[in-house]
Structures are given as C-alpha cells and as structure tokens.
Amino acid sequence: MTDDRWLLALDIDGTIIHEDGTLTDAVRDEVARVSGLGHEIMLATGRSVASTLPMLDQLSITPEYVVCSNGAITLKRDETAPLGYRREFVETFDPGPVLTKIRAHLAEASFAVEDEEGNFCYYGTFPVSAADLGSRAVPFEQLLAIEATRVVVISPDHDMEDFLSLVERMGLHKVSYAIGWTAWLDIAPDGVNKATGLERVRELLDVPRERIFAIGDGRNDVDMLTWAGEHGRGVAMGQAPDDVLAVASEVTASVHDDGLAVALRTFV
C-alpha cells in the first residue's frame, strides 16, 4: 500500500448498524468518502461469512480481505469465486470438550457450531438473525463431532452479571472466547481473535502499525482495539461496555449518534 494509505477495520453490529439492522446515510456516506480518499476499508466481525458479505454490498466496498467469525475465517477477494470472495485462511478446533463442559453448567442453554464451510448447526432455540439461512437443528451429540470455526452459546434465563461470573467459574481452557451484550458466549480456536486475523491482513498488505484504525463496541473487539491502539487508533463506540472503553485509545459517539461516521470524519 502507498505511504499515506490507512487500513480501517470496522466491526458490524453496534458499529456500522443499529440493533434493528439500520444503516444510516451518514455512515454510508462517510465510508464512501474515506474509501474514495484511497484508504482500505474492511470488515472485522464475529458474523459468519454468509451474514457478512451482504454488508459489503450495503456499504459498496470491495476490500481485499474480510475477517469473519472473530478471526477464525479470513476471506480474500476473488472474482472467480461464487460470491466474489474465497476462504483464504481458516482456523478450526474440536468443540467437543468445551461444549460438554459448558452444558454441565448450563443445561438449559442453546448451542451452535459453525464449520469451515459456514454451515451452522444448532441445538435448542436460536434467533433467526443468528442462525443463517441453510442452518439446521441437530441433536446435541452431533455438535460434538463437527470441526468448528466458532461455537455460540446463549442462555436467555441468565442476566448478564450471573452469566459473566458463571463463565469465569467454568475456567474455559484451550479456546478463545468473548461474551456479548446479552447472555451470549462466542468461542473461537485458542489464540484466535479479530486482532490475529487483522495482523495477518496487515502483513499481507504491508501496512505499518501506525496506520491501523479499528473500531468496535463489543467484548469480542477488546483484542482488536488493544492491538490497533498500540501504534495506531483503537476506537470504541460510545455505548460500549466499560471493559471495552478501558482498552480503547479513543472513544467516539454511540451508534445511535453515528459514532462511526464521527470517527471517520477525522480522515481528510
């Protein structure tokens, strides 16, 4: 990349779009403007491939790389691929031990496993937005045999504080995990997160650490914001939890006040 270009990594939910999926004109316009300046704008999300790619169309961007599934899958632009992107790097793990351990503590929870092809199998009840088209319900035991890029656990009966302390007491080892806004647990392969995926992309694009901008609002963004802020800019959305705000090098307005657009206006 040329000397003055930045690599900008954007989280999707709670950063680009509101909870109801709204994408404002202010955000869309700023993404277009900054992209037009020659900077590389990409996505770094916990979403699966299937639910990430439509966001590129909504923003009218075609980045070289896209980080999905909290860093477990990195896509590369490829015009010959069916959806314009191919899976370039995929990290997987055996979900059996962690699923068995969690179920012993959370018998009423719902569980899902995403494989390297993006198939989403679940046990229990999952919101339609979380379970992509093509997902299917399976017996719990079947989840244990899938080579996973991501495991999701939801336990609506728990309030956030109970859920946090319960997860802490479980002592989940040999995996990476992040807790969402609700009683929602995202589990990735050990040592894999948005930051590890983005560092790989940064090296491939030969962007200095000083010209990295990352922005997000969730606990699964902590590693990314810490990494970006060490030499560049790690920006937390205004509505982010305290533990996310604490690691950011900057804080912008909330998603309801177009915080992403506000942060992007600093690129001139």
pLDDT value, residue 103: 92
| Interval 103-126 mean pLDDT | 89
pLDDT at 184: 81
118 compared with 140, residue with greater pLDDT: 140
Residue given tokens 């990494």 in the structure block: 227
Q: What is the pLDDT of residue 224?
A: 98
| pLDDT band of 169, cuts 50, 70, 90 | confident
**Phi, psi of 159, rounded to the nearest 5 degrees:** -80, 165
State the Cα–Cα distance between residues 256 and 238, nearest whole angstrom: 9
Percent of the residues in the chain that have a pLDDT greater than 90, as a whole number: 71
Q: For the chain, what are the domain ranges?
A: 7-90+192-264, 96-189
CATH topology of domain 7-90+192-264: Rossmann fold (3.40.50)
d(Cα 200, Cα 143) in Å, to the nearest integer? 29
Q: In what order do the strands lie in the sheet with 184-189?
A: 136-137, 120-123, 110-115, 148-154, 184-189, 175-179
The structure tokens listed for 51 are: 């639910």
Interval 222-243 mean pLDDT: 97
CA atoms 104, 108, 109, 115: torsion sign: positive
Angstrom distance (rounded) from CA 142 to CA 88: 27
Query: For 57-83, what is each residue's pLDDT tens digit?
Result: 999 999 999 999 999 999 999 999 989
Same fold, 7-90+192-264 and 96-189: no
- How would residue 18 be classed by pLDDT, with cut points 50, 70 and 90? very high
Any idea which architecture 96-189 has in CATH? 2-Layer Sandwich (3.30)
Q: Which of 240, 242, 216, 243 is nearest to 228 (CA)?
A: 216
